[in-house]
Structures are given as C-alpha cells and as structure tokens.
C-alpha cells in the first residue's frame, strides 16, 4: 500500500511542480488549495506527509494548519513540511513553534524536496 502525501498550496502551478517532482516516489499524491480543505483531508485520510504552503487565502494560514494537525491526537503523527517564500529568522522560528517537521524555502531544488519528503515520510 502506498503512503499518502498531501500537497497544500493555493498556486496550482506550484502544486503541479511538486507533484511532478514526487510522482515517481513511493507516495500516492493528493492536492488541496486551501487550509480548511487540507485539515479535513488530514483528519479523514491521515496521510504520512503534508507539504504545506504558509501564505494561503482564507481564514487559516499554513502555520495554523500545521498547529492544528500537530495538536490533534488523531493527526499529530502526520509529518508536516512547510514550503514557503518566507525565509526570515522569525518565519523559521514560527515554523518550528507550529510543530513542523521540516521547512523548505522557495525557490527550492527538486532534489531537496524529494529528499525531505522521503526522510520525513519514513
């Protein structure tokens, strides 16, 4: 059985790029374009890995999505990789405080994304 991976980003082109990078990995890939749908998917499907943008439209950003995933006993085991253009020290710290397992800064290399997904996905 393939491991489940969720890509969450409001930019369809970026989701497509991430999917292309990971399509030959051991993951079954799903997509979401907003935080609320991502939370619903994670709660019901419990993927092994979520690759999560921080800046998204709607009421909750990626930091909050990560916090909610990690604070729920049913989903706390889900590994979260934040993927963002935000690269200041404060942003990285906030990512750690939200419970993220990894933080990649855009632009990222395809190999670093693939390696990180495999490492956090076990």
For residue 26, the number of C-alpha atoms closer than 13 Å in the C-beta half-sphere is 12
**Domain residue limits at 7:** 3-121
> Residue 91 is part of a domain; what is its CATH number?
3.40.50.2300
* pLDDT tens sequence across 70-120: 999 999 999 999 998 877 788 888 888 899 999 998 888 888 988 888 777
Helical packing angle, 35-45 and 62-71, nearest 10°: 20
Determine how β-strand 49-53 pairs with β-strand 27-32. unpaired
Q: What is the pLDDT of residue 107?
A: 87
Provide φ and ψ at 25, rounded to 5°.
-85, -175
Q: Exposed (0-12), middle (13-18) or buried (19+): which is 18, by Cβ within 10 Å?
A: buried
pTM for this predicted structure:
0.92
Domain count, the chain: 1
Provide φ and ψ at 10, rounded to 5°.
-75, -15
């Amino acid at each position: 059985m393939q491991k489940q991976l969720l890509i969450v980003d409001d930019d369809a082109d970026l989701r497509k790029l991430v999917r292309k990078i990971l399509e030959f990995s051991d993951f079954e890939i799903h997509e979401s374009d907003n935080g609320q749908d991502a939370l619903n998917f994670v709660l019901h499907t419990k993927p092994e890995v979520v690759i999560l943008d921080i800046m998204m439209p709607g009421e909750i950003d990626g930091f909050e999505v990560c916090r909610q995933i990690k604070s729920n006993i049913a989903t706390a085991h889900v590994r979260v990789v934040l993927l963002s253009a935000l690269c200041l020290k404060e942003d990285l710290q906030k990512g750690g405080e939200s419970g993220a397992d990894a933080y990649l800064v855009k632009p990222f290399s395809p190999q670093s994304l693939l390696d990180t997904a495999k490492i956090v996905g076990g």
